[in-house]
Structure 1
């Protein structure tokens, strides 16, 4: 059997699964029910698995059929989008699935993505914001931005290093005018601290640069705990205390003088940032173009 026949069988399978009926799928395809049924029987025989549970009134997918259907729909969609892009002289077009960390994604990636979409009106981005460590292959993503990650990436993923966070201590001039400027870790005991924490009430420790390039970790007594970097920044801007924040989060406020850095000698490098993508499928023009833009505009430091 030719590869084109395999693809035709897959297309008929997706239509039948979406329709839940051989008859309805055949009508949509402008074929006979017999032709669709024979195609699906041929596909099941080639795969060696049962894709449908058949009855006189219904057509439902088996567990194997559901998994195969999900993959086939994605492949057919990507094939259609690639053909459309080629027909438009390879201009980026079609669906684009992105996974972004919540705060960095909203503050740094979304503005670049919107600028990119402004250049290519036929793009349809779908963006998921989560601080969960997503599996780009399992979730069918085209690109993901990750804060943190393994020292050595698996061979199944392409990746580019954007740089490392720089974690600094900062507060507003108004807060410091009233409470004094901390110059040591010991001084922080008399200050209000704004920390990052999880829903269970566990605060993330602050990291301090120490002599000899060592890192000192301390869990701080706090006035405010927030599970979101933007919320921490909002609290600091409201003169609520000192926070340890990444420079990508506070750079505009530092530039304007709304916040100032304190204890600069204790600032430290934080987590690395990467863009990652699956190598299992060829990179489409839209993904390649967005990757080039993000590499050029999201470099840290």
Structure 2
């Protein structure tokens, strides 16, 4: 017997069990009562067991029939869900797409991709917010976010993809180094002006260095300027104000065109991991699925 015939038999059996009679099931299936009765008989013969207790006034599932009905219902449900997901992927992205992004990485690297995605899909409206805190996607109704930082355990309601891991290093402008010299060790940094990152809680982020054994050590560095915004730090360093620690995705262009120079490159180390995250309940929506696939293919961290 072919798979198609088996599926037809399953669909007929579930219809009869749900309707409670051959006549009602036949009407729903647009078949004759005789055809439905014969179809159930063939199914019982193939399975070698009775699925229904029949009387002149009622039709009830046997114990074996009830167990089989449970399995068949689950199989049909899985098929319907798969078909719905495939149909959704073929549909045009539309409606409001809520996106939350980390401030600097989002503006520099993600925003251009979102604008291109929205431009390709006229029925789509994007609502984009920027924050450096961890957003509760389910509580705040967010469809997609980029997260910077390790996650010990992902909630079961969220799906995610890893974009890569930052590289953390120090940089200064060529003019600053020409005037003040280039440090050759961590200790030499004490003789230089350093631009530090000020956290929202009032603290100052430490600097991280590779220790030569594959591990990372952190040190609190003294500095003349403390800035609470990463892009403002870049501006300060390009204005010859000193040396600062950056994730290289933040100053990739400046390094490439020579506006900034890497300092102590041998002590550069890995930083935080970046992820895309979205609610599992929304991942088959064309607007979410489409943007996840786009960002996964174009965003890299280096």
TM-score, normalised by the number of residues in structure 1: 0.69
**In the TM superposition, what whole-angstrom CA distance separates every residue of 1:176-198 from its partner, at most 9, and x where no partner exists?**
00000011100000111111112
**In the TM superposition, what whole-angstrom CA distance separates every residue of 1:205-245 from its partner, at most 9, and x where no partner exists?**
00111021121111111111111110111101111110110
Give secondary structure in 2 for the equivalent of 1:291. helix
Distance (whole Å) between structure 1 residues aligned to residue 168 and residue 199 of structure 2:
19
Say whether residues 1:220 and 2:221 are aligned partners: yes
Query: Using a 3 Å threshold, how does the CA distance of structure 1 residues 200 and 162 change in structure 2: closer, same or farther?
Result: closer
Say whether residues 1:294 and 2:272 are aligned partners: no
Q: CA deviation at 1:260?
A: 0.9
- For 2:125, the equivalent position in structure 1 comes to 124
Q: CA deviation at 1:200?
A: 4.8
- For 2:152, the equivalent position in structure 1 comes to 151
Distance (whole Å) between structure 1 residues aligned to residue 101 and residue 284 of structure 2:
19
Q: CA deviation at 1:276?
A: 0.3
**In the TM superposition, what whole-angstrom CA distance separates every residue of 1:41-65 from its partner, at most 9, and x where no partner exists?**
xxxxxxxxxxxxxxxxxxxxxxxxx
- For 1:230, the equivalent position in structure 2 comes to 231
Distance (whole Å) between structure 1 residues aligned to residue 198 and residue 125 of structure 2:
34
**In the TM superposition, what whole-angstrom CA distance separates every residue of 1:248-298 from its partner, at most 9, and x where no partner exists?**
100000110000111011101000000001113452011111111101111
Say whether residues 1:162 and 2:157 are aligned partners: no
- For 1:285, the equivalent position in structure 2 comes to 286
Query: Using a 3 Å threshold, how does the CA distance of structure 1 residues 92 and 126 change in structure 2: closer, same or farther?
Result: same
RMSD across aligned positions (CA): 1.8
Q: CA deviation at 1:123?
A: 1.3
Give secondary structure in 2 for the equivalent of 1:138. helix
Query: Using a 3 Å threshold, how does the CA distance of structure 1 residues 136 and 200 change in structure 2: closer, same or farther?
Result: closer
Q: CA deviation at 1:149?
A: 3.0
Alignment of 1:54-73 (within 5 A): none
Give secondary structure in 2 for the equivalent of 1:137. helix
Q: CA deviation at 1:152?
A: 3.3
Query: For this pair of structures, how many residues does the alignment match?
Result: 217
Alignment of 1:46-125 (within 5 A): 90-125=91-126
- For 2:176, the equivalent position in structure 1 comes to 175
- For 1:248, the equivalent position in structure 2 comes to 249
Q: CA deviation at 1:143?
A: 0.4
Q: CA deviation at 1:156?
A: 1.6
Query: Using a 3 Å threshold, how does the CA distance of structure 1 residues 105 and 179 change in structure 2: closer, same or farther?
Result: same
Query: Using a 3 Å threshold, how does the CA distance of structure 1 residues 288 and 281 change in structure 2: closer, same or farther?
Result: closer
Say whether residues 1:184 and 2:148 are aligned partners: no
Distance (whole Å) between structure 1 residues aligned to residue 116 and residue 237 of structure 2:
29
Distance (whole Å) between structure 2 residues aligned to residue 249 and residue 268 of structure 1:
15
Distance (whole Å) between structure 1 residues aligned to residue 300 and residue 227 of structure 2:
26
**In the TM superposition, what whole-angstrom CA distance separates every residue of 1:22-41 from its partner, at most 9, and x where no partner exists?**
xxxxxxxxxxxxxxxxxxxx
- For 2:137, the equivalent position in structure 1 comes to 136
Query: Using a 3 Å threshold, how does the CA distance of structure 1 residues 200 and 284 change in structure 2: closer, same or farther?
Result: closer
Distance (whole Å) between structure 2 residues aligned to residue 233 and residue 224 of structure 1:
12
TM-score, normalised by the number of residues in structure 2: 0.69
Distance (whole Å) between structure 2 residues aligned to residue 100 and residue 285 of structure 1:
20
Give secondary structure in 2 for the equivalent of 1:213. coil
| Larger Cα-atom Rg | 2
Distance (whole Å) between structure 1 residues aligned to residue 108 and residue 143 of structure 2:
20
Q: Is the 8 A contact 2:164 2:301 kept in 1?
A: yes
Q: Is the 8 A contact 2:143 2:282 kept in 1?
A: no
